[in-house]
Amino acid sequence: MSAGPAPKDPAGGALHAIRLAVTKGRSRYGSEPKMTKSREDAVLAHLQRSRDAVERAASDRTFVATAIAIAERIARAFRDGGKLLLAGNGGSAADAQHIAAEFVGRFIGERAALPAVALTTDTSALTAIANDYGFEQVFERQIRALGRNGDVFLAISTSGRSPNVIAALKAARELGLVTVGFTRVAQSPMHAHCDLVLAVPSEETALIQQVHITVAHAICGLVERELFGAGQQN
């Protein structure tokens, strides 16, 4: 009696399919060495553009002077018992949270906690306000609830046109907060509502975000040094 054909190995069939797909991919997209070179070129090109953006910012005396002025206004607000409020959308929301964390925790040295609040983190408030009043008011409503005369509101928008950020800036000015904008160099609606504007000399969103957080770190360092002494800088 014949033993019949051997049973198929499902795992072996799957591996064969994967190998076949990889082989077809290589033939379609080119050899692996070429792909590696192309990837390296893409990474190096991005890093070059990033370096160029930082160098343009560093060589712009107005940009550097504005960063210093922002640090001074934030330090003054903390010294006078005020706080820093921050807001933005998407990657700028992440930057707002990052910057707030540097102040509430620490940036470099051990020191007292500093009052900084990102208006992007309370999902209950955000969704309630968006549901009841519209997304354009998600930051404005929080500014009206938490902002006080002498506080600083740091608004981040790479386009300079975000409606909810503009609405919050208008409310902040109405309440007597110092308004600070992180944006791009091109004129935008945001500029008209800010006491201080840190305008990155680039039109590429990813690079604008990189410079924003790089300069934010410099501002954190200046604030710590202003309030707690030069020893904070290592």
**Spatial separation of the C-alpha atoms in residues 179 and 153, rounded to whole Å:** 5
| Residue 176 DSSP class | T
Q: What is the reported pLDDT for 234?
A: 45
The contacts of residue 48 (CB under 8 Å, 6+ apart) are none
Same domain membership, residue 125 and residue 19: no
pLDDT for 12-24, tens place per residue?
A: 565 566 565 545 5
Query: C-alpha dihedral over 39, 43, 46, 48, to 10 degrees?
Result: -120
Residue 5 lies in a domain: no
CA 78 to chain CA centroid, Å, is 22
**Backbone region of residue 30 per phi and psi (left: phi > 0; alpha: psi in -120 to 50; beta: other values):** left
CB 73 within 8 A of CB 197: no
pLDDT for 40-49, tens place per residue?
A: 999 999 999 9
Same domain membership, residue 212 and residue 105: yes
Q: In CATH, what number is assigned to the domain containing residue 142?
A: 3.40.50.10490
Same domain membership, residue 102 and residue 196: yes
Question: In which residue ranges of the chain is pLDDT below 50?
Answer: 22, 29, 233-234
Please report, rounded to a whole number, the percentage of residues in the chain having pLDDT higher than 70: 83
Same domain membership, residue 98 and residue 205: yes
Same domain membership, residue 154 and residue 78: yes
Domain, as residue range, for 109: 61-232
pLDDT for 82-98, tens place per residue?
A: 999 999 999 999 999 99
CA-nearest of 219, 230, 209 to 94 is 209
Same domain membership, residue 107 and residue 39: no
Buried b (16+ CB within 10 A) or exposed e, 167-194: bbbebbbebebbbbbbbbbeebbbeebb
pTM, two decimals, is: 0.82
CB 170 within 8 A of CB 193: yes
Backbone angles phi, psi at 151, to 5 degrees: -70, 170
